[in-house]
Amino acid sequence: MFALEFPSIDNLVKWPEYLFEGTFAGFNKISLILVLAMLIPTVLFLLAKRDLVPRGIQNIVESIVEFVENQIIMAAIGPEGMKYLPLLLSIFLFVFFGNIFEVIPTFQMPANARMANPLILAVVVWVTFIGAGIKAQGFGGFMKSSLVPPGTPAALLPLMMLIEFISTFLLRPFGLAVRLFANMLAGHILLVTFGVLCITLWTLSPLVVVLPFSFGMLVALTGFEMMVAFLQAFIFALLAAVYINLSIHAH
Amino acid sequence: MSALASTASQVIELAQEFTPAEAKANAGASSAGFAYGLAAIGPGIGIGYLVGQAVQAMARQPEAAGQVQTTMFLGIAFTEALALIGFVVFILLKFA
């Protein structure tokens, strides 16, 4: 009716390769964003001086580290979780910079809207919480505390162990990956929808009167997506911390 | 009964105009909306209840606001997962 041509999903998330085209190491926009998401925090942390009185860039870096310390580690694990600070800080910053390219002009693609990236991050978290649990309680103790809820009647034991196994070792990484992936893909599609709507309204002369509303919505959603990018990075790191906490403390 | 039979025959006639691939795409497109809509009901109620209770807790005990907020985000993350799986199903039905 409005000649609204929505691009196909391949058009939204697949990008041509700049280098090594067609090979395993094909380098496209997603790879570029991932490299930037790795380099920006590293450069920030190298630029920050280690003075007693912070100035300039050191303020930013210190507030990021303090945010991860107070809001993620102290909230989810406690003081003994401080040794996981490097891992959780890297995860938080990598996910955040991967997400924030969703609203940066000329990129406008969240790297985490491709399933491979959240999946690998979830596997890293999965290996970490299993490793931390085995280190803290031993293999048998970790299996017992994660598979057998306290106070289970003996008759229900096989069923409970099956359910707990699925929820702990399969659904946790799956949920972690799907949460990040679906949030980012949904945000990307939402922005594309309003972008397409703005372009279509611009070309149709009588309907151009509603263009400001559509454009205002696009601007508002861009702000909203910046919040989502931060919130999803926060939640990803927080859940990683919660899973580590659940496996190092026997209940 | 005859009305039902004629409706059924109409549906079959309508369906015969499509190739199997087209019929699959149509069924996928129409069920994708239902999949996401149904998946959004439960988490919508859940997140509303959760945030409401969290706001109540913060209003009653403002000094615990930080801890309540962190726990609230955790709860939102777990509740929201169901809606997001519904969204993934929507994408799979619509585009895959």
Classified by CATH at the fold level, domain B20-95 comes out as F1FO ATP Synthase (1.20.20)
Distance CA A64, CA A34 (A): 20
Other C-beta atoms closer than 10 Å to the C-beta of A7 total 10
Residues of A in contact with B88 (CB under 8 A): 178, 181-182
Instruction: Spell out which residues of chain B touch residue A181, defining contact as CB-CB under 8 Å.
Output: 88
Contact B95 A9 (CB under 8 A): yes
Residue B64 touches chain A, beta carbons under 8 Å: no
Per-residue pLDDT tens digits for A46-69? 988 888 888 888 999 999 999 999
- What tokens appear for A136 in the block? 């803290």
Give φ, ψ of A27 to 5 degrees. -110, 105
Give the position of tokens 């997140």: B47
Question: In which band, very low, low, confident or very high, does the pLDDT at A1 lie, cut at 50, 70 and 90?
Answer: very low
Contact A235 B73 (CB under 8 A): yes
Task: Say which DSSP state A170 is in.
Answer: I
Query: Inter-chain contact B95–A183, Cβ cutoff 8 Å?
Result: no
Amino acid A200: pLDDT: 84
Q: How many CB contacts within 8 angstroms connect chain A with chain B?
A: 43
Percent of chain A with pLDDT over 90: 55
Task: Count the neighbouring beta carbons within 10 Å of the beta carbon of residue A186.
Answer: 20
For the cut 90, the answer to whether the pLDDT of residue B48 exceeds it is yes
Q: What is the mean pLDDT of chain A?
A: 89
Alpha carbons within 13 angstroms on the beta-carbon side of residue A196 total 15
Interchain proximity A178–B84, CB inside 8 Å: yes
Report yes or no: A222 and A108 within 8 Å, Cβ to Cβ: no
Q: Are B65 and B73 in contact (CB under 8 A)?
A: no
Tens digit of each residue's pLDDT (9 = 90 or more) over A67-82: 999 989 998 888 988 9
Q: Rounded to an integer, what is the distance from CA A12 to the centroid of its chain? A: 19
Sorted by where each begins, the domain ranges of chain B are 20-95
Using one digit for the tens of pLDDT, what is the confidence trace for A152-190? 888 889 999 999 999 999 999 999 999 999 999 999 999
CB A37 within 8 A of CB A184: no
Q: Is the confidence metric ipTM above 0.85 for this complex?
A: no
Give residue A184's Cα distance to chain centre.
8
Pair A98, A31: CB distance under 8 Å: no
Q: With contacts defined as CB-CB under 8 Å, which chain A residues touch B91?
A: 9, 185
Residue B20 is predicted with a pLDDT of 81
Question: How do residues A8-30 score in pLDDT, each as one tens digit?
Answer: 888 888 888 888 777 777 788 89
The token duo for A210 is: 């509603």
Asked whether the beta carbons of A112 and A95 are under 8 A apart, the reply is yes
B87 near A CB under 8 A: yes
Q: Measured between beta carbons, which residues in chain B are less than 8 angstroms from residue A76?
A: 70
The answer to whether B70 contacts A179, with C-beta atoms less than 8 Å apart, is no
**Listed residue (B81, B48, B51, B45) closest to B68, CA to CA:** B51
Decide if A4 contacts A200 (C-beta within 8 A): yes
**In terms of C-beta density within 10 A (0-12 exposed, 13-18 middle, 19 or more buried), how is residue A54 classed?**
middle
pLDDT exceeds cutoff 80 at B10: no
Residues of B in contact with A175 (CB under 8 A): 78, 81
Reading the block at residue A109, the tokens are 């693609």
pLDDT at A3 over 70: no
From the candidates B88, B92, B93, which should be mutated to test the interface with A, based on the most A CB atoms within 10 A? Answer: B88
The answer to whether the CB atoms of A8 and B95 lie below 8 A apart is yes
Mean pLDDT of A240-246: 93
Q: Distance (Å, rounded) from C-alpha A166 to C-alpha A160?
A: 10
